[in-house]
Structure 1
């Protein structure tokens, strides 16, 4: 185990014990000679030096991991570099070291120019690590249709922050005051700082614990009272990040305003022969249809839809049917 892997206070207590310094139960000094205190002072200084070195290495590593070479640093002045390095070394939070390095790289590549350079350098030094993460979350929410914890809506740039306690609300208010947000949306400066501090892999829904909705709706059509199956499919697709529209075949002429995924799902639940197929085909002329049959009408269906997939589920329960249908739809849409 390296020294940095051990808690600094644990190190000092161990040294104090070796130096014969008495400790009270809570860890406070009871007795200590001059020489022993000198040992502790030197060790504390050594700890600071080790942590400063580690932070400096993180800063430099972040600069070079961003593929910045000498010929790409024409925009990064010596003063900018000094300000970034100074801010990094003085910052209370070790976690932010890499962001200073990445901002230096972004300036060097010319992605942050003019007065924005100094403004973002100063802003980064004044923001907490948590506030930088908040900006990141809002950035992702602005660019993806994020699935909420319930319902079929989307998570907006402020809702994604989950501002549930006074500290979080204060941090957001500070970001507003620093021109990172305006009218509940990230400003250009806020977006610029996020792009500088995070790489593409860190700016995805999964990176912030969310899932993006699939871009198209799943269309569920049914010909009989199949409430349990319809709701099971709705919930199953929701779990997979796919929104649904459902309607009876008798109102197939009322097309919802949505972009549908292929295949459309047609639940054939009636025991009688489905005589509505010609009308269905007239309405879904160009669509691929997945027929979910609870009774065997495959031969009759193929007469109207020879190229569509027909799944016979006679005798199977709702759960098994739901799993199979979702698996098929995901496969067709390249989501497996």
Structure 2
């Protein structure tokens, strides 16, 4: 396949579009309402159809050639199969899917999908709407990454994007994906995964590309032996909300009684952890064995005193950061989270 594929039309309408500063053909298609176009007669309709066809060919070929050059000796896709793919692309009602067809053709030609998957993928793509293909893309990203949900500390799952639990149009999309064997239950099938990986660029398969955020690795462990105090509980809640706003997952505050019971906490913990001290500092001092494991692993405590500092606690915890919380909970929580982000940033460098 050569650059000669990109041949401009010699029609007056096309020349007019080109002379207007390289305006895309879709500007022509979008410039007239349907009624206005029909009033202009069969010639105008034919010109618009020709512009649409040429644009779609260009988008298809451009997508097939992007990145690595389309292999000239690509024996995994015959000329007949390529023409079949083009016919599907031309017949598709959604013009914006042309790049997806081009990329799928390239993936098949480069043997990046199993040979027996080629025809089913071509047919499946021809039946999908652009919105349904987008659902597959988002579900694929959700499977690969820990996406923040709208609320809570869990993760978004592929099911959140596939439409099975939404309104009638959402469920219609889900049924269409299932009918093409691209989705089974709430997960993409191997056929669905291959379609996404073939039709979308790697940079289009990231959380940022679909407007989502991911949790930072690990869980911010919060420990307090004063969880019977209202001010401690309030601070725990505010801290969790502030941390979440920065994509830091906060586990429920705990008061482990010994090192063995604390072990599961440290297995998932981020390097910084938070200790909240209320009115009873002695309670914390009675449980110092709980911190032996994180100290041995180089974890860094951030100690928040809600009722005045206690020197014995600070010394026992080898605290690098001590916060005497004399302000409202919100600014103190924001200060804690800044320290957490600083520790995490230094750990990466």
TM-score for both structures, normalised by structure 2: 0.80
- C-alpha separation in 2, matches of 1:15 and 1:172: 36
Q: Deviations over 1:239-278 (max 9, x none)?
A: 2232222435463543273510011111233386764474
Q: Deviations over 1:45-81 (max 9, x none)?
A: 1111111111111111111113134356332211221
Work out whether residues 249 and 280 of structure 1, in 8 Å CA contact, stay in contact via their aligned partners in 2: no
**Match of 2:323?**
312
1:231-242 alignment, distance < 5 Å: 231-242=237-248
**Match of 1:208?**
210
Q: CA RMSD in A?
A: 2.8
Measure how far apart 1:190 and its partner are. 0.7
Q: Deviations over 1:198-220 (max 9, x none)?
A: 11221122322332223311101
- C-alpha separation in 2, matches of 1:136 and 1:303: 52
**311, 317, 335: which one aligns with 1:324:** 335
1:110-189 alignment, distance < 5 Å: 110-162=111-163, 163-189=165-191
1:9 partner SS? coil
**Computing the radius of gyration over CA atoms, which structure comes out larger, 1 or 2?**
1
Work out whether residues 147 and 155 of structure 2, in 8 Å CA contact, stay in contact via their aligned partners in 1: yes
Work out whether residues 281 and 304 of structure 1, in 8 Å CA contact, stay in contact via their aligned partners in 2: no
- C-alpha separation in 1, matches of 2:245 and 2:184: 33
Tell me if 1:45 matches 2:57.
no
1:255 partner SS? helix
**32, 38, 49: which one aligns with 1:9:** 32
**Match of 2:292?**
282
Name stretches of at least 5 consecutive residues in structure 2 with no aligned partner. Answer: 1-19
- C-alpha separation in 2, matches of 1:78 and 1:283: 64
- C-alpha separation in 2, matches of 1:261 and 1:12: 62
Aligned length: 313
- C-alpha separation in 2, matches of 1:130 and 1:5: 22
**249, 269, 273: which one aligns with 1:264:** 273
**Match of 2:14?**
none
**Regions of 4+ moved over 4 Å:** 271-274
Work out whether residues 139 and 162 of structure 2, in 8 Å CA contact, stay in contact via their aligned partners in 1: yes
Measure how far apart 1:188 and its partner are. 0.6
1:245 partner SS? coil
**233, 236, 242: which one aligns with 1:227:** 233
Tell me if 1:255 matches 2:265.
no
Tell me if 1:61 matches 2:62.
yes
